[in-house]
Amino acid sequence: GIQVEQSPPDLILQEGANSTLRCNFSDSVNNLQWFHQNPWGQLINLFYIPSGTKQNGRLSATTVATERYSLLYISSSQTTDSGVYFCAVSQWEGAQKLVFGQGTRLTINP
Amino acid sequence: EAQVTQNPRYLITVTGKKLTVTCSQNMNHEYMSWYRQDPGLGLRQIYYSMNVEVTDKGDVPEGYKVSRKEKRNFPLILESPSPNQTSLYFCASSLSPKSPEQYFGPGTRLTVT
């Protein structure tokens, strides 16, 4: 099956810093999503981005499908950005067979 | 409020005692899924459903059953729970193939002793 690798596994930054999280996948995908799991365990959908670039406030994401990677950018980090960021992919257009990466744990210190 | 709800949120049970974790969404979503999250293994899909009466296995379906008799509900059934099913379980839903953004429930922490 498709493999998803995220890097770095851990990232510790000071408030105000910028960060880039990477997601590599082993085969072509029709569905790629980024999620944030906050320290209380809640999973929040950030982006659906099988290709191209999207922005939402301080967060943006870019997927280069032909090169099989996606990047999540967080600018001007805040302590509330702490948590684990997951990339998930599927080779189907819908949400079936969604495969998650291991996540990047981001800690933002005040 | 648009949401996915799960019950119970916490459950401690004993080996072999059948249990059901309920999941309900109020967004008229076609797709629903169940995942388990374990340390070091991440999130793994158990089962998914593309519509009423249409379900299929995910990556780790052994020991679990599901049913989709109504669009809004997708219960997860453990007929004979074992300690290796101790985990954090999430239900999720998405609108359609063209709008596959997944929305997650709050999670159910299950401990099987």
What is the reported pLDDT for B98? Answer: 84
Share of chain A above pLDDT 70, in %: 98
C-alpha–C-alpha distance, residues A49 and B112, integer Å: 38
Instruction: State the nearest Cα–Cα gap between B26 and chain A, in angstroms.
Output: 17
What is the reported pLDDT for A12? Answer: 97
At A75, is the secondary structure helix, strand, or coil? coil
Number of neighbouring beta carbons within 10 Å of residue A109 = 11
Q: Which has the closest alpha carbon to A70: A94, A91, A54, A92?
A: A54
- The residue among A100, A102, A104, A105 with the most chain B CBs within 10 A of its CB, best to mutate, is A100
Q: Which has the closest alpha carbon to B37: B59, B15, B56?
A: B59
- The residue among B104, B109, B110 with the most chain A CBs within 10 A of its CB, best to mutate, is B104
- Cα dist. B85→B35, B42, B46 in Å? 12, 14, 11
Residue range A45-99, pLDDT digits in tens:
999 999 999 999 999 999 999 999 999 999 999 999 999 999 999 987 766 788 9
At B7, is the secondary structure helix, strand, or coil? strand
